[in-house]
Amino acid sequence: MIKRIIMPKLGETMEEGEIIKWLKKEGEEVKKGEPLLEIATDKANMEVEANASGYLRKILAREGEKISVTKTIAYLADSMEEEVPLEENVKADLPLKEKEEKGKEKPLFEEKIIKASPLAKKLAREKGVNLSKIKGTGPGGRIIKEDVLKAAEKIAAKEKEVEKIWAEEKEIILSRVEKIMADRMQQSKKEIPHFYITSEVDFSDAIKLRQDLLEEFEEEKKVHLSHTDLIIKACARALSKFPRINSHYREGRIISFSRVNIGLAIAREKGLVVPVIKDADQKDLFEIAREREDLLKKAMEDKLSLEDIEGGTFTLSNLGMMQIKSFCAIINPPQVCLLATGEIKEKVVAVEGEIVIAPFMEMTLSCDHRAVDGYLGSKFLQEVRKGLEKPALLLV
């Protein structure tokens, strides 16, 4: 019996997968549950297990190919003697016209009557010279051998000049993760009508709370409590009060979630990843700090699973450790908001008629105007600020 192996849909946003590596060769025996191949989704690399036992009879999709979900990528058979169907073209969904045009070679020049000697025409083909751009010096304006050679020399000289100009340039090849992120961010900026609102937070009491808890966390619980953990908790608290912010926008519909799952943008040499702290509103500061540390370690070791990065309803991007004052970040679709936070820096302020120095942090909320208006975004930002300026609320 012949069984189809298809490109699985491993996430709600997955539309295609890239074949990274086949772990079995054609003709090899495969047992149900064995890793069969490794694929790359728009978020992570995953191993795909065989859903049946048999022999890998025919591989249709080669390593490096991108295949739409549910398309056939291979055949599994009970024996090697069984005939497989005619080989599918996994890219067979191209329009017929496009397929026909793909097989046609375009001529180097458009066919038109040009007065040129046979030798000149032959040389032009060999050297890639467009005869229509040459003024002939032969009898009656006829293009001759010398005209073609002269034109070829000019082309070669121009190419050398271009090479000289770009000699110092170095091409940087994007990693697979960077390519995916580039595509997603381009799509986000193109499709989502972004707007941004910024607010300042007095971090004085939040810093004091962290200092009070730091010794207990590090010595007794073996976890480092960071400013980021306080911000995550403040966001989680606010998101539980503003379900429309804790939403996805899909095809003209707003889908609000009861679970508060906060993605944390993490920069690595291999590219940006956004692991998710799930049910953040139900977790205390210790649980958030421990989970953040675990996800950060996995991210740096390139060991994040699909479960670690799926299901986000909101994203936090903190560049405070890079001494960035503030920035406007691109929304992570299909989410409708993202909070970007900068460094905590002391500034001179007036408090009840007194001049004091206090630590402040700027935070900028990126909003999808299709789902969130300025009023709602501002109310949410006020609630985040409230949690950080009255951090006792984060312990409730």
| 204 CB-near residues (< 8 Å, 6+ apart) | 358, 359
224, 227, 248, 369: the catalytic one is: 369
In the numeric block, the tokens 């040459």 are attached to: 134
194 included as an active-site residue: no
Buried b (16+ CB within 10 A) or exposed e, 290-329: bbbbebbebbeeeebeeebbbebbbbbbbbbeeeeebbeb
Q: Point out the residues that are catalytic.
A: 369
